[in-house]
Chain A
Amino acid sequence: MLLDYILLIHFKQIKGERTDAAIFHILKGKQSIQTVQDIHIFNLEKFYGAARFLNKKQFDGRVENLRVTEKIKEQAETNQFAVTQKGIDWLKENKSAVPINYFNGYRYDRTASEFYERLLLLIQTFTNSKMNNFSFIPVISNRSAENWVKSFYGKTIGSRQEVLPMLYKELAMLLSHSSRRESEIFVDRLSGYNVYGLSINQLATAYGLENEDVSLMLTGVIHHILSMVEKETNKYPLMGHIIQDLINTSALSHSAAATLYLLNKRYSIPQIASRRQLKDNTIYDHIVEIAYNNDQFPVTNYVSKDKQDLIIKTIQHAQTLKLKEIKKSLGDEFSYFEIRLVLAAYRHLLKIGDTNE
């Protein structure tokens, strides 16, 4: 149901302006400028990468199910699905049952899994070492999380016995902000000394949920924890320490960040492209991505003020966010890059999806 709910919100926001594949890309956290643009235009930032576990077959099955139960319907004009009145009603009915507001995918997608894996390994390592058991099988094989826990373990010499009580205090406090069931699920998945946590399907069985919803719920709770820790680090010093080096990295992809670095050093686009052995177009995509992450982005460096005005007017007039159509109305003097960049810079003005979800 949680997955259905999230899918319906996507259909509702997108209003048939994109194919359902675009929704799949959002949930999988696809690193393309199109997907990044979509989440901003349609106000779906929080679900970026929220369901990385999903495969195309599962996704198609769910969409088909929404269609059969008449929550979505193919629109005659666009051939794309849009939400029906029945779907809107269903969303309203179930609004209180789903923890939608936990999600903050665009901010935490990159950090959530690394944070979670550190936490899992930390608990396994400290509980086992407390019981003098040094032969346990870690549930996670992630080199970077392993290295982090190793170095943390080394640093805590002398104060090691304080770690578990601190962890308990902070986790108990954090989980008290989630529903009882969400906390039960979160705790049942943890492994410690002589205990191995439950699998997704075991949790689904135990709590009468679908596998996909358990995964989503866990992701939601992790995002929720991250946002609380980030806001009140002084309340959660240990958790704050775990995320310290993760959270400062902005939502920019590594590659775009490298481009930004060179832009700030006043390199031109062709210079950057040749230095990085990338195509010019890739650098243009980076610039759009950078614009999405910076409200003061100097658009005028790339698109003249007149052109900007024309693009905005055209979009408002045509009432569409389909790039092809916008480009067609504007004509050949306008490049896709210019349109994309204006869309990014004026995203707050140009949004057509509802913003109150």
Chain B
Amino acid sequence: MNEDDTLIEGLKHYFGYESFRPGQKEIIKDIMKGKDVLGILPTGSGKSVCYQLPAILMSGSTIVVSPLISLMMDQVKQLKANNLKSAVALNSFMTPSERRQTLQALHKYKLIYISPELLQQHEIQQRLKKMDISLFVIDEAHCISQWGFEFRPDYLKLADIAGLLNNPPILALSATAPENVQKDIIQLLSRPGMTKHIYPMDRENIAISISRKDNDQEKIAEISHILSRFSVPTLIYFSSRQAAEKTAAALRETLPQRIAYYHGELEQHDRISVQQQFMNNQLDVICCTNAFGMGINKPDIRLVIHFHFPPQLEGYIQEAGRAGRDGKSSVSLILYSMQDYFIPKKFITNELPSVKDLSFVFQYLSEQRRLPAAWDEVGEIFKLNETQWRFLRYQLENHAIIKDNRLIAGSSQLASAFNKITDAIHNRTAVKEGKLQDMLNWLQTEGCLREALYKNFQPSFRKPDGSCCSHCGFTLADWKVEQTIIDDRFSGNWEDKLKKLLLIGENNEAE
């Protein structure tokens, strides 16, 4: 068998797909040759297969650095459902005994998902050092770059970790990384010879529509109107969980569709239930925050509505890109009102510490000569959230002010570090404000929305006929789409439902 055949065999056997999506095979072949690869593939193009298949086929273990615990857990669940049992997500929620067991058996896993924060732990580093690591994957690699929309300081330490692991080949993946971010990734990973595989992110089958409303009531009325005409799998994105909950309740009053909400504060059982009901067509509409969607692979989402717009275009492209993964005609609709402009501003200030916070931390440090280690105390003393704290701690370590939470610098170093960190806060704020401005500019574009959207990321795009965007003549009224039939398979009293659930009287297919 030649190499191509082996790969396609593996794809069929382990994932059940008949053929590769654009980019997958090219990236996999380069990885198997031991090259360092930077892969930019649009949302919904099957990024994870690019490392999951090599991980299975190569000897040794593959490490996947991923920013979100929930995302890792979803991936591992999905792999296990596909009968790939040798995957594990190392995470901070493990009990000490679970953790011990997992670490002891770590070399038996082909795929090890881990967060950049956990990778900093000495115990884990020591364990990984002794193992045969065949590939080091950095998912959502744009987090490395301060020009990326989700800057995570701990991502900057990954080059050192790769060194510690005897420099295995690196695969850096992202769905959205414009030129300057790509440059940052390659430079910060210190792999100048990285092979680039860049694929366009524009999606021909998604029509873009923007509609301005005066307030939330008008938005809800518009959504009711649209959903009463189109019964299709729908995601509605909100900037807060309260808004998602409230709107879900309001929509349920007027619509026959089955509607639920989803956000990061649901208990895990509920999160999986809602997610899987949607996959399983037991649910038609999900009102959610950006916690929903990563790792969800529903091919036939037809409509993605933004009740609130995200604070950057990259986030929008990712979320809208969850529509129409099967290639069929789908729509992204953004409803915005003038009030919405204030929401992303608040996000920006919530993600970074203020200079006032900074001087308080410095004052505390010079008096106590150490920082509290427990997260509870940090929140209590400094009134910072996790994102703000992560940023600050990274800066303090990076400027050699603290080590293991202890002050190691003298007063002159402290003063100069204070100025540098202040600059870093201002820079990062400016980057974020610039991204927000790009978003706002785009919302007010008068020409083709598609053209204005993608010009920020790539030299050209494909222009579909007819259903391009609301500025090129597309209206929802003309949208031709297959409607879902809302079935009611789960009615009856509890005795009947229980009987049906437990398959009483059902033929036994396994025998």
Residues in chain A near residue B252, CB distance under 8 A = 205
Q: A137-B78, A137-B81 are in contact. Are A123 and B269 (CB under 8 A)?
A: no
Q: A127-B502, A139-B276 are in contact. Are A200 and B497 (CB under 8 A)?
A: no
Query: Would A183 and B494 count as touching, CB distance under 8 A?
Result: yes
Fill in one digit per residue for A263-278: 1 if any B CB lies within 8 Å of its CB, else 0.
0000000000000000
Asked if B291 is at the interface (CB within 8 A of a chain A CB), the reply is no
Query: Would B270 and A200 count as touching, CB distance under 8 A?
Result: yes
- Interface size class, chain A: 35 or more
Query: Would B501 and A199 count as touching, CB distance under 8 A?
Result: no
Number of B interface residues at 8 Å Cβ cutoff, please give it: 41
Max count, chain B CB within 10 A of own CB: residue among A134, A195, A205: A195
Query: Would A134 and B504 count as touching, CB distance under 8 A?
Result: no
Query: Would B497 and A188 count as touching, CB distance under 8 A?
Result: yes
Q: A190 CA to B234 CA in the complex, in Å?
A: 24
Asked if B508 is at the interface (CB within 8 A of a chain A CB), the reply is yes
Q: A197 CA to B494 CA in the complex, in Å?
A: 13
Query: Would A192 and B503 count as touching, CB distance under 8 A?
Result: yes
Residues in chain A near residue B269, CB distance under 8 A = 120, 139-140, 199
Query: Would A194 and B502 count as touching, CB distance under 8 A?
Result: no
Max count, chain A CB within 10 A of own CB: residue among B78, B261, B267, B498: B498
Within 8 A of A (CB), among B231-281: 245, 249, 252, 260-261, 266-270, 272-274, 276-277, 280
Query: Would A184 and B510 count as touching, CB distance under 8 A?
Result: no
Asked if A328 is at the interface (CB within 8 A of a chain B CB), the reply is no
Residues in chain B near residue A139, CB distance under 8 A = 269, 272-273, 276
Of B280, B493, B499, B502, the residue contacting A196 (CB under 8 A) is B280
Residues in chain B near residue A138, CB distance under 8 A = 77, 272
Query: Would B276 and A196 count as touching, CB distance under 8 A?
Result: yes
Query: Would B509 and A130 count as touching, CB distance under 8 A?
Result: yes
Residues in chain A near residue B222, CB distance under 8 A = none
Asked if A180 is at the interface (CB within 8 A of a chain B CB), the reply is yes
Asked if A227 is at the interface (CB within 8 A of a chain B CB), the reply is no
Q: A137-B276, A196-B282, A197-B273 are in contact. Are A131 and B494 (CB under 8 A)?
A: no
Query: Would B98 and A168 count as touching, CB distance under 8 A?
Result: no
Residues in chain B near residue A129, CB distance under 8 A = 510
Q: A137-B77, A164-B504, A195-B490 are in contact. Are A132 and B509 (CB under 8 A)?
A: yes
Q: A197 CA to B498 CA in the complex, in Å?
A: 12
Q: A53-B267, A201-B260 are in contact. Are A127 and B272 (CB under 8 A)?
A: no
Cβ distance B420 to chain A, nearest Cβ, rounded Å: 38
Within 8 A of A (CB), among B54-100: 73, 77-78, 81-83, 98
Cβ distance B276 to chain A, nearest Cβ, rounded Å: 4
Fill in one digit per residue for B450-477: 1 if any A CB lies within 8 Å of its CB, else 0.
0000000000000000000000000000
Of B270, B277, B280, B494, the residue contacting A187 (CB under 8 A) is B494
Asked if A165 is at the interface (CB within 8 A of a chain B CB), the reply is yes
Q: A201 CA to B277 CA in the complex, in Å?
A: 14
Query: Would A164 and B280 count as touching, CB distance under 8 A?
Result: no
Fill in one digit per residue for A155-196: 1 if any B CB lies within 8 Å of its CB, else 0.
000001100110110011001000010011011101111111
Query: Would B274 and A167 count as touching, CB distance under 8 A?
Result: no
Q: A135 CA to B506 CA in the complex, in Å?
A: 20
Cβ distance A221 to chain B, nearest Cβ, rounded Å: 12
Of B260, B493, B508, the residue contacting A199 (CB under 8 A) is B260
Of A160, A165, A183, A186, the residue contacting B504 (CB under 8 A) is A165
Among residues of B, the one whose C-beta sits closest to the C-beta of A199 is B270
Asked if B367 is at the interface (CB within 8 A of a chain A CB), the reply is no
Cβ distance A192 to chain B, nearest Cβ, rounded Å: 4
Q: A130-B509, A132-B509, A198-B273 are in contact. Are A180 and B494 (CB under 8 A)?
A: yes
Q: A218 CA to B273 CA in the complex, in Å?
A: 16
Q: A160 CA to B503 CA in the complex, in Å?
A: 13
Query: Would A135 and B83 count as touching, CB distance under 8 A?
Result: yes
Asked if A143 is at the interface (CB within 8 A of a chain B CB), the reply is yes
Cβ distance A335 to chain B, nearest Cβ, rounded Å: 30
Q: A141-B73, A199-B260 are in contact. Are A171 and B498 (CB under 8 A)?
A: yes
Q: A139-B269, A195-B490 are in contact. Are A134 and B83 (CB under 8 A)?
A: yes
Asked if B495 is at the interface (CB within 8 A of a chain A CB), the reply is yes
Q: A196 CA to B268 CA in the complex, in Å?
A: 14
Residues in chain B near residue A167, CB distance under 8 A = 502
Cβ distance A249 to chain B, nearest Cβ, rounded Å: 17
Residues in chain A near residue B282, CB distance under 8 A = 195-196
Q: A165 CA to B501 CA in the complex, in Å?
A: 11
Cβ distance A159 to chain B, nearest Cβ, rounded Å: 13
Of A136, A180, A201, the residue contacting B81 (CB under 8 A) is A136
Among residues of B, the one whose C-beta sits closest to the C-beta of A166 is B502
Among residues of B, the one whose C-beta sits closest to the C-beta of A160 is B510
Query: Would A130 and B267 count as touching, CB distance under 8 A?
Result: no
Q: A127 CA to B501 CA in the complex, in Å?
A: 8
Max count, chain A CB within 10 A of own CB: residue among B274, B501, B503, B508: B501
Q: A119 CA to B323 CA in the complex, in Å?
A: 35
Residues in chain B near residue A199, CB distance under 8 A = 260, 266, 269-270, 273-274
Of B249, B499, B501, B508, the residue contacting A195 (CB under 8 A) is B501
Cβ distance A73 to chain B, nearest Cβ, rounded Å: 31
Among residues of B, the one whose C-beta sits closest to the C-beta of A167 is B502
Asked if B179 is at the interface (CB within 8 A of a chain A CB), the reply is no
Cβ distance A145 to chain B, nearest Cβ, rounded Å: 12
Among residues of B, the one whose C-beta sits closest to the C-beta of A215 is B267
Among residues of B, the one whose C-beta sits closest to the C-beta of A182 is B494
Residues in chain A near residue B489, CB distance under 8 A = 195
Asked if A233 is at the interface (CB within 8 A of a chain B CB), the reply is no
Q: A137-B77, A143-B98, A199-B274 are in contact. Are A131 and B504 (CB under 8 A)?
A: no
**Complex A-B, nearest 9 residue pairs according to Cβ-Cβ distance, in ascending order:** A199-B270, A135-B81, A196-B276, A187-B494, A192-B501, A183-B494, A168-B502, A132-B509, A196-B277
A-B contact pairs, 24 of them (CB 8 A): A53-B267, A123-B502, A130-B503, A130-B509, A131-B510, A135-B82, A135-B83, A136-B81, A137-B272, A137-B276, A139-B273, A164-B502, A171-B498, A184-B494, A187-B498, A188-B494, A194-B280, A195-B282, A196-B273, A196-B276, A196-B280, A201-B260, A202-B260, A205-B249
Binding site for B on A (CB under 8 A): 53, 120, 123, 127, 129-132, 134-141, 143, 160-161, 164-165, 167-168, 171-172, 175, 180, 183-184, 186-188, 190-202, 205
Given A137-B78, A196-B273, A198-B273, list of 16 further CB < 8 A pairs? A120-B269, A130-B510, A131-B510, A134-B83, A135-B82, A138-B77, A139-B276, A168-B504, A172-B495, A172-B498, A184-B494, A187-B501, A188-B494, A195-B489, A201-B260, A202-B260
